[in-house]
Amino acid sequence: MKNAYLLTIHYINNYGSVLQTFASQQYLASFGYDCSVINYTRENATKEGVYREFYKIYRNCNDLRALPIFSYLLAKRAEIRFIKKSILFDSFRKKFLKLTKTVNKDELYTFFCNPALYIVGSDQTWNYDYNGGFLPEYYLSFVKDGVKISLSSSIGNEHFNKLEQNEVKKYLKDFQFITVREKSAVNALNEIGIMNAQQVLDPTLLLSRNNWIKAMNLVDETEDYILVYQLNHNMMLSDFASNLSKKTDLKIVRIHTFDFKDNIKSKKNITPEKFCQLFLSAKYIVTDSFHGTAFSINFNRKFFVFQPPKYSTRIKSILELCNMKDRLLNTTNVDDNIINNEIDYTRINKILEKERFKVNDLMNSLTGD
């Protein structure tokens, strides 16, 4: 087996983060790599970092929350929620991910000094805003001896800002190849003189439907419910799901992400494995999530997507790639007809297979196979 080290955002306590990490690891293993996930957490995403971020937010409020005692108590509450949520996702990470020892930023430069394949990608790894600034480590700045590639890295925005452009160019110049998740990311790299980037599928789509069923031990059957996976407050999404339930006489199952101000109840403490099962078995899916969209497509479900308030380029990109822009709903196209529109998954599955072959060819080029 060949050694490989993956640096990604595996530590965020959400389904997309841990499942794309698992998918990346599985995909690399299919090419004979013994892939370890580098167990590094950026500072503002640690337990202490979460407290500091929320304390800063509350201190800048224009109400009672800005008082030190209230800022402290509210930030502590956010920290406690973070700890509780970590228990669920840490269990998955322990069971399904091969992690290195925990390392801090300085240790990246001393621990990973052996020749190997080093991979960065995918979920938000190059998103300046999401990461709280430019982080050289996510451009593999610590790698001195080895092959560097980018696997479906995400910028999340339409352009690199001026503060990071020169740094991005400097660190990407010696990558063997660069692949990104969004078409807009290819354009953003072209704008700063990096012309060899290619758009590829998110790692969760590099694994086929059957790969997921086998890996997560899923039951391949459809049940009578509408799945709602919602990351943002949006009454239009909630109303659409409720109306769909009335028209189809199907119950709604919503995966809990936070407390919503509507009448739809949420299921809490859903494991990532159960998350996959719920997507595979749903008759309809309503979401505003990129990975909700990706799993809907991969599992050949009938789905509807509402545009989130930010980082929506990744959703638009995968829908454009699959010629499914009609699934993205807004105030002008929500009507009864969209419910009855069929999805030609024979055509879409051919697109996915073609895109998988494209990445396979790049991976084979590393060894000349």
Cα–Cα dist 140/131, whole Å: 15
Q: Which of 359, 200, 204, 351 is nearest to 280 (CA)?
A: 204
Nearest-CA neighbor of 199 among 186, 215, 212?
186
* Assigned token pair, 59: 């201190």
Instruction: Per-residue pLDDT tens, the chain, 369 aa: give them.
Output: 699 999 999 999 999 999 999 999 999 999 999 999 999 999 988 888 888 888 889 899 988 888 888 898 888 888 888 888 889 999 999 999 999 999 999 999 998 888 899 999 888 899 999 898 999 999 999 999 899 999 999 998 888 999 899 999 999 999 999 999 999 999 999 999 999 899 999 999 999 999 999 999 999 999 999 999 999 988 889 999 999 999 999 999 999 887 777 778 888 889 999 999 999 999 999 999 999 999 999 999 999 999 888 777 889 989 999 999 989 987 555 666 677 788 999 999 999 999 999 999 999 998 755
Residue among 178, 165, 133, 181 at smallest CA distance from 311: 181
Among 354, 343, 245, 341, CA closest to 300: 343
The gap from C-alpha 50 to its chain's centroid, in whole angstroms, comes to: 19
Would you say 8 and 97 are in contact if contact means Cβ atoms under 8 Å apart? no
Q: Beta-carbon neighbour count of residue 53 at 10 Å?
A: 17
User: What predicted TM-score, i.e. pTM, was given to this entire model?
Assistant: 0.92
